[in-house]
Structure 1
Amino acid sequence: QAHAGGRVGFGRTEVTDQIQEELDRFFAGSSGTFETRLALHGSAFTRDVWRELLKIPAGETRSYSELAGTLGRPEAVRAVARANGANQLAVVVPCHRVVGADGSLTGYGGGLWRKQRLIELEQGYRARATG
């Protein structure tokens, strides 16, 4: 409630229905696009990292060092990794699209097997869209 600036209600809303439809499409393998408006809560730097995550196209990955460089803070690789790990909107804010500098899967709270599966899912429907 403190973050939302008001009361938390019960029941379904248009936003709940919208995000469910988007998640259903994602897991059905038909779309990696989310248009539900998000309230990102964190420090200014953390929110900047999350906004960069939102820019990574489905089916693609970026390294932590690439994200730090994009933010104009190439020395902040560990801070980028911490912000990435603090993401509470996994899948929607695609922290799974961030990999090690050598392309290896690293640091995913849901398990590396799940991170791999999410990346494969996205690569699959990206291939179908272009094929």
Structure 2
Amino acid sequence: MNNTIVRFVILTVLVLGSVFALHLFLLNYLSLPLLDNKIILSYAINATLAIVIVTVLYLLKEKYKSQLGFLFMAGSALKFFVFFFVFYPYYNLDGDVETLEFFAFFLPYGLSLILETITLSKFLNKLDSPAS
């Protein structure tokens, strides 16, 4: 496996794992249920999808250099489909997506999106530099 991918996997696991631990700590501190709202599934799916998306884009970076932005958006669309098919029906059972439900999904989603964007911009910049 490529060094860039290995670093991304390690970074993703460390960041999302740390935020997950902090998330659980805050829920516990506030005496709120720890493992409700599919929180484990949310962190796991967001981490997995981020790793898969970055890996696929990295592998396709030479062949589809000019289309990588569109492929990245397709990966983001995939994440939204997962949200609407896996999480939204559960979150909307009572007719309302509550704050805890929102953060259970969108905190790991947002963080993984930031990590993906930073990583992808770095290797896109390397593609554009004359030394590559």
| TM tier relative to shorter chain | 0.3 to 0.5
Between 1 and 2, higher relative CO (CA 8 Å, sep ≥ 6) is seen in: 2
